[in-house]
Structure formats: structure tokens, C-alpha cells
Amino acid sequence: METVTLSNGVEMPILGFGVYQVSDLAECERVVSEAIQTGYRLIDTAQAYGNEAAVGQAVKKSGLPREEFFITTKVWITNAGYEKAKASIEESLKLLQTDYIDLLLIHQPFNDYYGTYRAMEEYYKAGKLRAIGVSNFYPDRFIDLAEFSEITPMVNQVETHVFNQQIEPQAIMKEYNTQIESWGPFAEGKNDFFHNPTLKAVGEKYNKSAAQVALRYLIQRGVVVIPKTVNKNRMEQNVDVFDFALTEDDMNEILKLNQKESLFFCHYDPETVKFLTGLAR
């Protein structure tokens, strides 16, 4: 598996496995176990997903050394603030059955995320977290946190796919030596993603699917991707993207798909903010 090097020297796989919306614990343990068998080592979960325990169990049952894995989880809005964040980190460590977390992110830029980040910095210094960062931080809040933190976020996980390519935000992250990571690399199938004519046409040249082309495009831009599926055949297809390379012409054609806006929600929209912050009550 190819890796990227974070600002502190930690190696992170460029392709991993996400478990968003796999809420049934038995099902989650099954799919994570199958992902591990397929070769995935980066597993991305979150407190809000309710499946950290299943991820921890699958990793434990794999019989592989803990250091072979790169486990990511995220602090949810309800656990924001210095003291609550610390308690939630301890709970995540317990559920994941691990002495350390490879990457911990602030899930959303709401509530007292400054206090949350201070707690994360403390746990990072103590060796309980190998890397820390944020998720869903738009450039304005990302820059603000980066400028007023002792440790610059090492990762920012944001909605990134061919229809919302995050070109400008990625450039800003690079200024701070922050790694961009994609959630929703398949746009959850929106805009008839898997039948997109551009992606299919490019894929035909390499005998690859639209999904594989989309992943390859992001990987060649240096974006970490965490595609989610509960189907083992698709797990195998999603990881099979390292035996071909897109040409500059291919990349330019796919760049034309960029609509530069979210297909899901916007943190600048008051109603969206009310909805997300309401989840913490």
C-alpha cells in the first residue's frame, strides 16, 4: 500500500476503509474483517458512528500486530470541550481495545472545538495519539485553528470527489503542511456517479471502472481516500488502483467535472449549522 508522510513523519496509507453508516456491530465487524483480509490497514471510524467497538474487535481478531494498522476515529460534537473530549478519548481507546489511536480528528467545527483540540494536543504529547487533525473544517475555520494552536492539524478530512474536488482548500492545507483526506470519494452515488461518461470513458482505456478511475484521480492528487462498501468484491476493486496511472489529459478531463460545491451540506448555511449543532443537544 502506498503511503503519505504526515508533518510529524508518521506514515499514513493513502487508501483506507470507511465504516460510516455501518451501525450494526456484527455487520461492521464482518466487513472490517473482510477489509483486513483484502489488505486494508487504514480503518476510519468515529464516535458518532457507534461502531468503534466492532472495529476494535475486528482488528483484535485479525491476529495481526497492532502496529500494522492505522486506526482513525473522531470526537463528536457532544464531546466537545477540554474535559469532555478527554473522557471521550479514553472511551474510544477502550472501545477500540488499543493503547493508542493513530489519528484523531475533530469531527465537526462546532461547539468548543478549541477545548477539544487542546485535549488532543495533550494526548498527542503523551503518546496516546500518533497524529491529530480535523474534519469538515472549511478554509476559514481551518486557518483560524491552525494559527492559534501549538500543533498544526496534520490532517483535514473533507468531502472530496470529482464533483467537489477541493482544489483551492487543498492548496491552503499545503501551506500548513496539512494532509487532505477525502470522505465520500464516490459522492455516495449522487449525480449518477458510477455511470459518469467521463469516468467511464477514461476507465475503458485501462480496463477499470468509473469508481476505480475516481479513486486513482484523487490518489494522484495526493488525496487520502477511504471508500466504504459492505461488498467484498467492491473492496477488492477499490484497492486495485495502483497498477495504472492517469495521463495529464485524463486528469484535465476529470478536472472539468468539478462543480466546486457540496452535494451534501454547507457549513455556511445557517439551517445546516442549526441541524448539526442540534444533534449535540
Tell whether residue 107 is among the known ligand binding residues: yes
CA 144 from centre of chain: 21
User: In whole angstroms, what is the distance from residue 152 CA to residue 58 CA?
Assistant: 32
- What is the side-by-side strand order in the sheet with 155-159? 17-18, 42-44, 70-75, 103-106, 132-135, 155-159, 179-183, 224-225
pLDDT tens-place string over residues 218-276: 999 999 999 999 999 999 999 999 999 999 999 999 999 999 999 998 899 999 899 88
User: In whole angstroms, what is the distance from residue 182 CA to residue 163 CA?
Assistant: 12
pLDDT tens-place string over residues 45-87: 999 999 999 999 999 999 999 999 999 999 999 999 999 999 9
Helices marked H in the chain: 25-38, 52-61, 82-96, 113-125, 139-147, 167-175, 197-206, 210-220, 232-239, 248-255, 270-278
In the numeric block, the cell 445546516 is attached to 272
User: In whole angstroms, what is the distance from residue 179 CA to residue 33 CA?
Assistant: 27
* Number of domains into which the chain is organized: 1
pLDDT at 281 over 80: no
Question: Cell digits for 214?
Answer: 475516481
Q: How many helices (H) and strands (E) does the chain have?
A: 11, 10
Contact (Cβ atoms closer than 8 angstroms) between residue 182 and residue 263: no
User: In whole angstroms, what is the distance from residue 172 CA to residue 82 CA?
Assistant: 27
Contact (Cβ atoms closer than 8 angstroms) between residue 108 and residue 137: no
pLDDT tens-place string over residues 91-146: 999 999 999 999 999 999 999 999 999 999 999 999 999 999 999 999 999 999 99
Q: Looking at residue 158, which CATH number applies to its domain?
A: 3.20.20.100
User: What positions carry a catalytic annotation?
Assistant: 49
Check residue 278 and give its pLDDT: 85
Check residue 129 and give its pLDDT: 98
- H or E segment at 75? strand 70-75
Task: Please give the residue range of the domain that contains residue 233.
Answer: 3-278
